[in-house]
Structure 1
């Protein structure tokens, strides 16, 4: 047995003391946050979507190839079989809406000059106001510089000496797939719904309302500003039907609570109808008229459910029947007339 030397001390204990001090230093170094180097570039972060609690999720930005061309994948309309057995694209229909125009009130026959110019495909309404202020627009041979000036459809409006007329109306229905954002222009050159209807017609189109990037289903396009305003205004209470898929079965108490209406951070969320469609109680049918942002996902997130799939199957009385995913079709004249008269009595509520 080794004897303890008081003068020299215990070498084994001395070693253990040194080891403990080194372990403490390493432990403190691990706990201490690492400082970035002076030349280190901070990591870029971007919006990645929303989590189960509907809160924003951010992540690192993936470096993109600058030489990579923007997405320009051609999409086509629904093709119909011809007599020869070959497929042909659906032709853009001509709408005879004179009967509707005659029934409109007299004040609706007059439209603002900037809207007249925008409907002719010259520019946007805001840009049209600039053209009017600069004195570049003439009505019936007289220059007009007054903003808010109203014209009749029969008036002769000229720009740079050339007569302009509003574009013919276009009404189009798209069955939107995933991974397309609802916007007319994206500076990040991501896939937009405009790529899906590219080449459908010569007239300018814009989507009415919006669907989230991961939401599929019906999306309506038109160049009819009046109809677009009607379909998006909350006073008209336009019906929308969704098929909702949840991450877990929904309870009967939650179904009853959603039907009764719930209060979210931006106010009351009313549901017109809610039905369970699957035996495992994860697939639901939801009818709603609210147009609030991400309202369907937020309703179920309020009760702790995650919406794993969301598909809009009906919009303003229109269905996606016979429209494959990623395809579109033009509305027929009867469907357009129905939209024009849809919830006509709600106009009184809007005026109040």
Structure 2
């Protein structure tokens, strides 16, 4: 074999000058590697740990990552610091020892129209307020308090059981303002009695304010009250011989009907939620 033929053979086999020349894959000539790793099957019952913590209301998802990396979060009794870690809804997750609930807390305000019930739907199929906010959440949201079917106005819905419990019986009361239409004109003497305090079921009902509605008949009044007693406004007027023909709740806590037409709903803002959670 001639020397020229030998060099050709060496080049063809990748050998040059007695050494092997490595092939370059810089131009995309690398062999295709088959991915033999099994694909991770998505579990519909699992959720990222940071989202789990955030949904519980402890903090934002970004802050949750910080707490997780610091070891503040445990899953089934063991600290987890791995980012992107997924947990099952059946797992026990704690933050600084406190058991967490992964259901995201939601808060919806409805301007309730007339002829909608706030009690559990019965067999007769009465229209229920839950149908008016059905598109607001996939979670089951319940009204914080009850309103008569004929009553209208502000009604708060949430799945936050702790907040509902506080709002139903706050120590300092919850501010509510009603526009009340009576079956007859309210006498000035009875208006004064209400201002001074009327006894209902052996307990004085104190109102913050009551006044006639401007440019309206004397049977229309506005009343501000902090009591959480059941149907206390109705019972207050009944004690003085009046029947409420219509009642509209125009203020609930710090919430108003501004830009919220009858039958429509909106989510509470972050600040509004914070304000409610400060109520004891």
Q: TM-score, normalised by structure 2?
A: 0.64
Q: Which has the larger radius of gyration?
A: 2
Shift of 1:252: 1.4
Say yes or no: does 1:252 pair with 2:188. Answer: yes
CA distance in 2, matches of 1:266, 1:189: 38
Say yes or no: does 1:321 pair with 2:258. Answer: yes
1:301 counterpart residue number: 238
1:121 counterpart residue number: none
2:59 counterpart residue number: 98
2:175 counterpart residue number: 239
1:223 counterpart residue number: 159
Aligned length: 199
CA distance in 1, matches of 2:210, 2:56: 36
Q: Where do 5+ consecutive residues of structure 1 fail to align?
A: 1-93, 103-136, 141-150, 158-163, 348-352
Closer, same or farther: CA 156–248 of 1 in aligned 2, 3 Å: closer
Q: TM-score, normalised by structure 1?
A: 0.51
CA distance in 1, matches of 2:243, 2:119: 25
1:169 counterpart residue number: 105
Closer, same or farther: CA 234–95 of 1 in aligned 2, 3 Å: closer
CA distance in 1, matches of 2:91, 2:97: 7
Contact 2:57–2:104 (8 Å) recurs in 1: no
Runs of 4+ in 1 over 3 A off after TM superposition: 94-97, 137-140, 151-157
Say yes or no: does 1:203 pair with 2:139. Answer: yes
Shift of 1:241: 0.5
CA distance in 1, matches of 2:134, 2:145: 18
SS in 1 for 2:273: helix
Q: Where do 5+ consecutive residues of structure 2 fail to align?
A: 1-54, 65-88
Shift of 1:169: 1.1
Contact 2:154–2:252 (8 Å) recurs in 1: yes
CA distance in 1, matches of 2:180, 2:105: 33
Closer, same or farther: CA 236–204 of 1 in aligned 2, 3 Å: farther
Shift of 1:234: 4.0
CA distance in 2, matches of 1:95, 1:316: 24
Closer, same or farther: CA 246–156 of 1 in aligned 2, 3 Å: closer
CA distance in 2, matches of 1:247, 1:177: 20
Shift of 1:156: 11
CA distance in 1, matches of 2:188, 2:261: 34
Shift of 1:185: 3.6
Closer, same or farther: CA 190–97 of 1 in aligned 2, 3 Å: same
Shift of 1:204: 1.6
Shift of 1:339: 1.2
CA distance in 2, matches of 1:156, 1:232: 25
Shift of 1:281: 1.6
CA distance in 1, matches of 2:241, 2:214: 19
Shift of 1:312: 0.1
2:223 counterpart residue number: 286
Closer, same or farther: CA 188–197 of 1 in aligned 2, 3 Å: same
SS in 2 for 1:235: coil
Which of residues 194, 200, 207 is equivalent to 1:264? 200
Shift of 1:153: 4.8
CA distance in 2, matches of 1:187, 1:194: 16
Shift of 1:270: 1.7
Contact 2:182–2:244 (8 Å) recurs in 1: yes
